[in-house]
Structure 1
Amino acid sequence: MNVNWRLWEYISVDNWIDIGISVGIILLFLLFSKIFTKYIFFFLVKLFNKEKTELFKQILEAYEKPLRWLFIIIGIYIAVDYFPYFEQDHSLFEHLIKSSIIILIAWGLYNLSSTSSILFMKLNDGVGLEVDQIIIPFVSRGLRFVIIAITISVILIEFDYDVTGFIAGLGLGGLAFALAAQDALKNLFGGVVIIAEKPFTLGDWIKTSSVEGTVEDINFRSTIVRTFAQALVTVPNSTLANEAITNWSKMGKRRITFNLGVEYKTPKHKLEKVVKRIEELLRNHDEIHQETIFVNFDEYNNSSLDILLYFFTKTTAWGEYLEVKQDINFKIMEILEEENVSVAFPSRTIYMDQDHQEVVEVNEETHD
């Protein structure tokens, strides 16, 4: 009790006043931080929205939280000047304040380098160089890694750490690291190959020997593909780079081909007319690609006379493709009904030999 009483006696009234001022300054700047976020920042974002300056708006949003913390750091820096038991010009304190500001700057740059940043939408408006969607997440992660590495290096320099020796030490351990991370390096270079060759982009429907689905993301190690069963499949970039990739989204048109079998009893003139009318149907259909259309009497099958249909739809979207295919099928049915031609299906006719009690099976077309 005597020790505590002596400690309270040691703290003078002036010191208590200085401590109160320090605490008050910190609380005041905390209030400024909240006011900035609620009013000033909101006003600036609204202003840039009116001026349609999307880039400045994103810069503001990226630095929203760093600016809030900047108020607090400034408050702490000013408060320490009044605090009786700590010197503002102390070297460690100065290093901490400078390092904090460096971190806030890096924090904003880190937010600005997100995949949704407008900076990746167009590198140079004058040149009109559009950035492919698949490059954006890859470059974003690369930039963020560089920002973090530079930030750590600058902070180490601020604390008088020999960064050159640190980098040299990394160089000596580089061989061991490379040996230990061969798979990671393979995947990294695989990702570079995919981005350079651009066999697909984000949102494309691809098929490989290991996966089929829609590309959702690509990073340094792997590519994320969502299957049509809504499962997420992570494929290492090194594997994907060495596989044959079918990009269904890059189709300019979509193929439809099948054999239409009609009965053997169909007369020649009716068969010719059906073939001609089906071809005319395809030639005059707005959704059928006119470059390649084949409608021909193809072969004598076991149970039918087969007409080969081979053509393409203009659309490549799966749902629209099915709609066009259905429309063609219905109209072919109408042609067959109008020409009184029936579709054949496999049948089996059994003949009984009365004398030898043997059964003979003969395949022929179905009769109405």
Structure 2
Amino acid sequence: MMNKLKIVLLSILILFVQSAFAQLVSDDNALEEMDYQVNLTSPYHTTLTYFFNLEDNNYYPERAAQALNWKGMEDADQVDLTIKLQQIFEGKGVAVRTSLIPNEPNYVDSLAGGESVYYFDRQKLPGIFLAKRGESWKFSAFSVAEIDRLHRQTYPYGTAKLLDLLPKIGNDKYFGLYLWQIVGLGILLLFVFIMHWLFTFLVDRGLLYLMARLGYGKMGEQYLLPVAKVTSIYFIVLLLSLFIRVLQLPIEIWSWLVVIFMVLKPLLITIIFYKIVDVISAYFVNLAAKTESTLDDQLVPLLRKTLKAFVVVIGTLFILRDGLNLDIIPFLTGLSIGGVAIALAAQDTIKNFFGSIMIFIDRPFQVGHWITSGEVDGTVEEVGFRSTRVRTFRNSVMYIPNGKIADATVDNHGLRQYRRFYTTLTITYDTPPELTEQFVKGLREIVLAHPHTRKDYFNIYFNNLSSYSLDIMFYVFFEVPTWPLELQCRHELLIQIMKLAETLGVRFAFPTQTLHMESFPEKKELSPDFSQESAASYQRKLGEFMQKELGKKD
């Protein structure tokens, strides 16, 4: 009996010793694990210490707080700031890859002047970095002081309160997401649907109704409506990017969503300004239509293309910088150097470009003007940034570089206020002086009666005795804008001159050689007999012509 009791007591003693030894070993392992979890000997270990102690299955924010340098902020709520720092990383979409973090106690950053610092993301988190203090690597005191400001910047307009409210819905996991995250996604999608419906209602109904009431219904539907729709999409994307970060989605997903949102915002802004250019162009088209100049009608499309190209270039730079976090300074530097090389290689193109600018500034001609410059003789059809298109009178098209036109002498017939018409009317030598005088007087009345002739200056005189005719100078001007109208006015004047000559009995001379023979009694002379006529009869015939053809009374 005693032996059995001794065996039981010995067994209990052995179990107690084993239990005590196991407890001792467990405490040592816990201490080793504790030392590992607060290892701050390198940037790698500090990062691992911080994020490992904030995981869901290993949540020890007090240990994670040891990775922060609290110098000057000893009285702050260290646990709260530690959690906020993690929320900043998640809200900014900064994916920390521990495999890329240096595991060197004496690591120095060459980009920071050789200091012992480590930046996680210089673009998204320029104020958050690790710094070596003594033998430990910690989040710098500057970074700790910036936590509150960066947290408000990451979660603006009171959205930070949702970080505390949403998790109260439930922490059960479904499909890798917490219940509160799934509910939050549903609420966010409903919110986006409501906002889209509201923006669509305000734009389609409100804006178009207002524009129609103001008398700009067509302009509102054609130009303002596309701008308003893209603007509504931009605001939806803006609100979506603002609230979706509160859901604290897995960083593998959220880091890509951040990139998508950061690209979408400058892209949509670029599209908005691209469409605004159409609105501005429509306004200038209306202004150009009110002017007599045709060159500004040609300038508006060129201005629209230039502004659109400028918007696309600037928008692309913003997408590269803000959306993709690319440093565009080297790109711009290379572009400037390349621009010099391109400028040297494309001197003629640049010369033509500036020549076009001078044409638009000086306005030596307009679309529709008839110009003469060297071998160029025709009507201007289009003025581009590189060349000017001229339709010749052979109906061919000539393309002249604007650089040459800017340096050449241009005779612009289209800018004439008056178009000159000069001809010589030849009448036969047997015309009596009285008839010649009345004929010249009738020519002057024809000019005065025509609606498109210059009345204050014209010259119609009997001014020469040529070898076969009496010459009357007919020198007048037409006040018409185009050549076809000038031709029409010439036609009208010449018809009236022929009618006047027929009425008065004036014959037009032409180059001839006449063999003059004495007349025979049985033959009638070809020359008209003016012996019975008098100055009074000529004046009477002129009066009849003026009353009949010109509507005047002598």
| Displacement after TM superposition at 1:343 (Å) | 0.9
8 Å contact 1:289–1:312 — kept in the other structure? yes
Per the normalisation by structure 2, the TM-score is 0.50
> Which residue of 162, 185, 191 maps to 2:350?
185
CA distance, structure 1, for counterparts of residue 499 and residue 452 of structure 2: 19
8 Å contact 1:133–1:201 — kept in the other structure? no
| Displacement after TM superposition at 1:67 (Å) | 5.1
CA distance, structure 2, for counterparts of residue 299 and residue 187 of structure 1: 51
8 Å contact 2:426–2:469 — kept in the other structure? yes
Aligned to 2:211: 48
> Which residue of 489, 507, 519 maps to 1:342?
507
- Which deviates further from its counterpart, 67-76 or 201-210? 67-76
CA distance, structure 1, for counterparts of residue 371 and residue 507 of structure 2: 40
> Which residue of 106, 119, 141 maps to 2:305?
141
8 Å contact 2:428–2:509 — kept in the other structure? yes
Higher relative contact order (CA 8 A, sep 6+): 1
Going from structure 1 to structure 2, the CA distance change for 1:66 and 1:296 (only over 3 Å counts) comes to: same
Going from structure 1 to structure 2, the CA distance change for 1:56 and 1:89 (only over 3 Å counts) comes to: farther
CA distance, structure 2, for counterparts of residue 217 and residue 305 of structure 1: 49
Aligned to 2:461: 296
CA distance, structure 1, for counterparts of residue 306 and residue 316 of structure 2: 16
Going from structure 1 to structure 2, the CA distance change for 1:77 and 1:227 (only over 3 Å counts) comes to: farther
| Displacement after TM superposition at 1:139 (Å) | 3.1
Residue type at the aligned position of 1:303:
Y
Aligned-residue CA RMSD (Å): 4.4
CA distance, structure 2, for counterparts of residue 237 and residue 97 of structure 1: 45
Deviations 1:169-201 (A, max 9, x none): 222333322111111111111112112211123
CA distance, structure 1, for counterparts of residue 232 and residue 377 of structure 2: 46
Going from structure 1 to structure 2, the CA distance change for 1:68 and 1:178 (only over 3 Å counts) comes to: same
Q: 2:267 matched to 1:112?
A: no
CA distance, structure 2, for counterparts of residue 231 and residue 46 of structure 1: 50
**Matches of residues 326-341 of structure 1 in structure 2 within 5 Å?**
326-341=491-506
Equivalent position SS for 2:456 = strand
8 Å contact 1:190–1:238 — kept in the other structure? yes
Going from structure 1 to structure 2, the CA distance change for 1:256 and 1:74 (only over 3 Å counts) comes to: same
Aligned to 1:126: none
**Matches of residues 131-210 of structure 1 in structure 2 within 5 Å?**
132-158=296-322, 159-208=324-373, 209-210=375-376
**Count of aligned pairs between the two proteins:** 332
CA distance, structure 2, for counterparts of residue 37 and residue 306 of structure 1: 80
Equivalent position SS for 2:458 = strand
Residue type at the aligned position of 1:214:
V
Deviations 1:43-98 (A, max 9, x none): 633530321358983651452663586599689979x99x9x97697234223223
| Displacement after TM superposition at 1:122 (Å) | 5.5
CA distance, structure 2, for counterparts of residue 88 and residue 298 of structure 1: 100
Question: Structure 2 stretches of 5 or more lacking a match?
Answer: 1-173, 289-294, 517-525, 529-554
| Displacement after TM superposition at 1:36 (Å) | 7.8
Going from structure 1 to structure 2, the CA distance change for 1:134 and 1:76 (only over 3 Å counts) comes to: same
| Displacement after TM superposition at 1:239 (Å) | 2.1
8 Å contact 2:426–2:508 — kept in the other structure? yes
Greater C-alpha radius of gyration: 2
Aligned to 2:441: 276
Aligned to 1:215: 381
Aligned to 1:251: 416
Equivalent position SS for 2:440 = helix
Q: 2:411 matched to 1:235?
A: no
Aligned to 1:3: none
Question: Structure 1 stretches of 5 or more lacking a match?
Answer: 1-9, 124-130, 352-365
CA distance, structure 2, for counterparts of residue 146 and residue 69 of structure 1: 23
Equivalent position SS for 1:173 = helix
Deviations 1:101-147 (A, max 9, x none): 32222223223324842056569xxxxxxx94454334333322321
Q: 2:428 matched to 1:263?
A: yes
CA distance, structure 1, for counterparts of residue 331 and residue 425 of structure 2: 75
| Displacement after TM superposition at 1:341 (Å) | 1.0
Q: 2:260 matched to 1:100?
A: no
8 Å contact 1:200–1:247 — kept in the other structure? yes
CA distance, structure 2, for counterparts of residue 340 and residue 121 of structure 1: 56
Equivalent position SS for 1:291 = coil
Higher share of residues assigned strand: 1
Q: What's the % identity of the aligned pairs?
A: 26
Deviations 1:315-359 (A, max 9, x none): 2233433332222222212221222110112224479xxxxxxxx
8 Å contact 1:261–1:307 — kept in the other structure? yes
8 Å contact 2:377–2:393 — kept in the other structure? no
Going from structure 1 to structure 2, the CA distance change for 1:54 and 1:197 (only over 3 Å counts) comes to: farther
8 Å contact 2:428–2:470 — kept in the other structure? yes
- Which deviates further from its counterpart, 331-340 or 318-327? 318-327
